[in-house]
Structure 1
């Protein structure tokens, strides 16, 4: 009887210790940089272009769809020429629909899951997160701009205002 009691007590202590340990690490959470690193590892560095490389891609791939994942007020301030607007928060819901910002997008959405797409945002995180989601949804040719629009402007590449 004492052996069972002792074994039960040891088991309870082990469970409590692991729960306490989990509570400590779970409460800390991940930083934005942790999330970016995780998504970059999943997405692959080869699909994240430096601004100059993205600019060359725009010039050499005629059917490349440029997607701004910023909010509308950010798009209205400045954006890449020819970009359609699908904010990050709507990406998964609106990527294959023609009813979002018709005055900007003019019905241009990816023809199919093989359409090459270049995503950008202000600093590079939202476009990376959106690109990963699209990849998980089965889109094959999805790329993002490292550092986003701010890195693009730092390279003195063209924008529309």
Structure 2
């Protein structure tokens, strides 16, 4: 009788063991299958900037502790807290994710986590912000040009640029001007710490002169002057086609 009980217990334990082993194998296969369908690419700073300009790209800083973000970053989530903060990530798993940390080690780990979560296109900034800033020293006004499209005479078009102090020294903005009275520009902050950014607000009013001066295809320039002797002035442009109703 005792032998029968032992045999039954052993059989049950073996069955349970086989079941869980199969489940584990299935889970491993699923994870491997997910990773195999994920496109993970290392990108240099130039490629990073190109991808960041694409509206569909989601730019993510995963460095912890939190650092000064690269201009245009959409979210900050520590590399080891991605699954807990999935609500902050794009719901569409085909959305390209462009991520970075300070040196590249945390972002490398984050790529694997994002892949296991089902994201199919992941870009990782090689060398992180250290390499990015070494190759991007300067005062940057981005993008360098924006097209406002068709603007109706009498309407006011607005847009923004990002000014970044990508130097190891504090920066003071000494003057903001434009090439024409139809365009006004202002900065949200006049003093920036190293690697900080601020927004430049632009307003374009083609009817300000109350004549036909600002009709047709136009280009206007924004000038920002600073106290950095190496980068005393930066510029950007807006373009527009102005028409009357």
Shorter-normalised TM-score: what interval? 0.5 to 0.7
Distance 2:38 2:90 in 1: 22
Choose the corresponding residue for 1:79, options 55, 64, 69. Answer: 69
Bigger Rg, structure 1 or 2? 2
Relative distance call for 1:139 and 1:145 in structure 2 (3 A) is same
Higher percent of residues as helix: 1
- 1:43 deviation in Å? 10
Q: 2 CA distance for matches of 1:67 and 1:46?
A: 15
Q: Tell me the number of residue pairs that the alignment of Structure 1 and Structure 2 aligns.
A: 105
Find the residue that maps to 2:98 and give its secondary structure: strand
Q: Hey, what does 1:129 align to over in structure 2?
A: 109
TM-score of the pair, normalised by structure 2:
0.39
Distance 1:43 1:79 in 2: 29
Q: Which residue of structure 2 lines up, in the alignment, with residue 63 of structure 1?
A: 56
Give the deviation of 1:64 after TM superposition: 0.5
8 Å CA contact retained: 2:38, 2:115:
no
Q: Distance in 1 between matches of 2:110 and 2:62?
A: 8
Distance 1:129 1:79, change over 3 A: same
Over 3 Å counting, the alpha-carbon distance change for 1:43 and 1:87 in structure 2 is farther
SS at match of 1:127: helix
Change (3 A) 1:46 1:67: closer
CA distance in 1, matches of 2:102, 2:114: 19
TM-score for the superposition, normalised by structure 1 = 0.58
What is the Cα deviation at residue 92 of structure 1? 2.0
Q: Does the Cα contact within 8 Å between 1:64 and 1:116 map onto a contact in 2?
A: yes
RMSD (Å), alpha carbons: 2.5
Question: Are residues 1:97 and 2:77 paired?
Answer: no
Unaligned 5+ segments in structure 1 are: 1-41, 99-108
Q: 2:43 aligns with which of 49, 55, 67?
A: 49
Give the one of 133, 141, 162 matched to 1:153.
133
Q: Distance in 2 between matches of 1:79 and 1:86?
A: 12
Q: In the superposition, relative to structure 1, how do residues 89 and 56 fare at CA in structure 2: closer, same or farther (>3 Å)?
A: same
User: Any stretches of 5+ residues in structure 2 without a counterpart?
Assistant: 1-35, 141-163, 165-194, 197-245
- Pick closer, same or farther for the CA change 1:45–1:150 going to 2, 3 Å: farther
Q: Could you list the structure 1 runs, at least 4 aligned residues long, displaced by more than 3 angstroms after superposition.
A: 42-46, 157-160
Deviation at 1:71, TM superposition (A): 2.2
